[in-house]
Structure 1
Amino acid sequence: MKKTLLITVSMLLLLVVSTTNVKAQEWSTGLDIYSSYLWRGAKFGTGAAFQPGVEFSAGGFAIGAWGSYSTGSEEAAEADLYMGYGFDLGENASLSFTLTDYYFPGSDWTEGESHYFEPMVSLGVGAFTFTAAYMEGLGDDEINTTSDLYLEAAVSAGPVDITLGGGDGQYTDNGDFNICNIMVGTSKEVQITESFTLPVSGAVMLNPSTGGFHIAVGISL
């Protein structure tokens, strides 16, 4: 519990320090509704997934909360906290660092073994994005204790986004590093009225390691 609270307090302190004397501050919130919750080669829960988010940003800094709640019998609820900072490198390039606290409702939030922490770095160069993430669990048993690496390369090719990801641990069938996420996605704006459009996105995802294949579509509000 002490470790969890220490990290949470550190996130809040970083928020205070980062927003001092920064004029461009913004609060934002939204809700995505997907036919299924797909993430890094896996499908979570059953039924449609409602995914709310709240974020505060100031300059290149952002801190927020994001969740996913499925409507089926297997809810696979998730409620995460995150903070990050992005740098504009110029020449259509960017670099960002993110720390995410993954939490799955149903266990005591104040207990350390209920959390999984993941530092992540992403480098964007033109239409390409390269991401590396390392998830570490804080549990005292084999179920909650994880040390999983995930690497991803993505490219935007006109209206289509193509993703290739590889990982170990939870991402593959035997825990060894392997390709676990091949995804092709697209999005468009649906004109509802003269002044309102509805963002719609869809993706096809294959995990060669587990043999899982899924399709999902969603809207953003």
Structure 2
Amino acid sequence: MMNRFIYFILLISSGTFISAQDSTDTGKSKLEVDFGADLVSSYIWRGIQFSEGPNIQPGITFKKGGLEFGTWGSSNFTTNFYEVDLFLSYTFKGFTIGVVDYFLMDNNAINIKSNYFDYSNNTTDHFIELSASYENPGKYPFRLMLSTFVYGADRDINNNNYYATYLELGYLLNIGHLKFDFFIGGVLNDNYVYIDDKGIINLGFKVEKEIKINDEFSLPIYLSFVTNPVRENVFLIFGITI
């Protein structure tokens, strides 16, 4: 069944454009709209497995200049797990500041009440994260990201926010037609969102390449090798972007 699903995705992708741009130029920049999806063998986020088995991860972004807004989600094929996030960011000369609203569900019953519109800090299931990052494309390309959960479900038994903070450093390297991203990331304080883990939780690399389908379409694929030293876990993830 999984092989037939992948073939179906490739068939659709090879003949369909999944990005669009507003052709009306209004000032210095124009609105760009892009949407697509990833198919991954497992959903791993910052060294933590959030969903076993294959996941489909759709997303759409609206971009104008350095300002970007969009939504992203993930769901699998075996349980009622799904995630829907909203994000807003601004990038200028390699620096990016952003906010993400994470919302996850893992229900055993379809149509269970999800309380998506509950934003009360003591009861909400949303996780609101602020982040700042920098990417240097120079001779020694690297990226640095710092994020903190400032509101929502990352709280202790007394409903006090943990303000879980995560720091990640990545080194970017091109080898032939392959693009590598070597990374190390860790949690700096007590938390709930990272399953109480503190320390280095995300260590590994991601490698990307494109498979040429025809003169007009190439299929991006990637592989991630991820370890979580705190939990002594290891993951190998394959993904396709359409």
- TM-based fold match above 0.5: yes
Which of 42, 55, 64 aligns to 1:58? It is 64
State whether structure 2 residue 163 is matched by structure 1 residue 142.
no
Q: CA deviation at 1:135?
A: 1.2
Higher Rg:
2
2: CA distance between counterparts of 1:185 and 1:46? Answer: 19
What does residue 14 of structure 1 align with?
A: none
What does residue 133 of structure 1 align with?
A: 147
What does residue 9 of structure 2 align with?
A: none
Which of 52, 76, 83 aligns to 2:81? It is 76
* Superposition CA RMSD, Å: 2.2
Q: CA deviation at 1:138?
A: 2.3
State whether structure 2 residue 202 is matched by structure 1 residue 181.
yes
What does residue 18 of structure 2 align with?
A: none
Q: CA deviation at 1:203?
A: 0.4
Which of 22, 30, 46 aligns to 1:24? It is 30
1: CA distance between counterparts of 2:150 and 2:129? Answer: 6
AA at the equivalent of 1:103: F
Deviation per CA, 1:32-56: give whole Å up to 9, x if none: 1100111101111121010000111
What does residue 217 of structure 1 align with?
A: 238
State whether structure 2 residue 131 is matched by structure 1 residue 120.
yes
User: TM-score by structure 1 length?
Assistant: 0.80
User: TM-score by structure 2 length?
Assistant: 0.74
When residues 143 and 197 of structure 1 are mapped into structure 2, their CA distance, relative to the original with a 3 A threshold, is farther
Q: CA deviation at 1:23?
A: 3.6
When residues 175 and 201 of structure 1 are mapped into structure 2, their CA distance, relative to the original with a 3 A threshold, is closer
1: CA distance between counterparts of 2:131 and 2:103? Answer: 17
Unpaired segments ≥5 residues, structure 1: 1-19, 89-93
Q: CA deviation at 1:115?
A: 1.1
Unpaired segments ≥5 residues, structure 2: 1-25, 106-112
Mapping for residues 39-50 of structure 1, pairs under 5 Å: 39-50=45-56
What does residue 97 of structure 1 align with?
A: 97
2: CA distance between counterparts of 1:22 and 1:107? Answer: 42
Q: 1:42, 1:171 within 8 Å by CA — same for their partners in 2?
A: no
1: CA distance between counterparts of 2:230 and 2:128? Answer: 24
Q: 2:156, 2:192 within 8 Å by CA — same for their partners in 1?
A: no
Q: 2:156, 2:162 within 8 Å by CA — same for their partners in 1?
A: no
Identity %: 28
Deviation per CA, 1:115-173: give whole Å up to 9, x if none: 11000000112310000000134248639854211000001122321000001424767
Count of residues in Structure 1 that have an aligned counterpart in Structure 2: 195
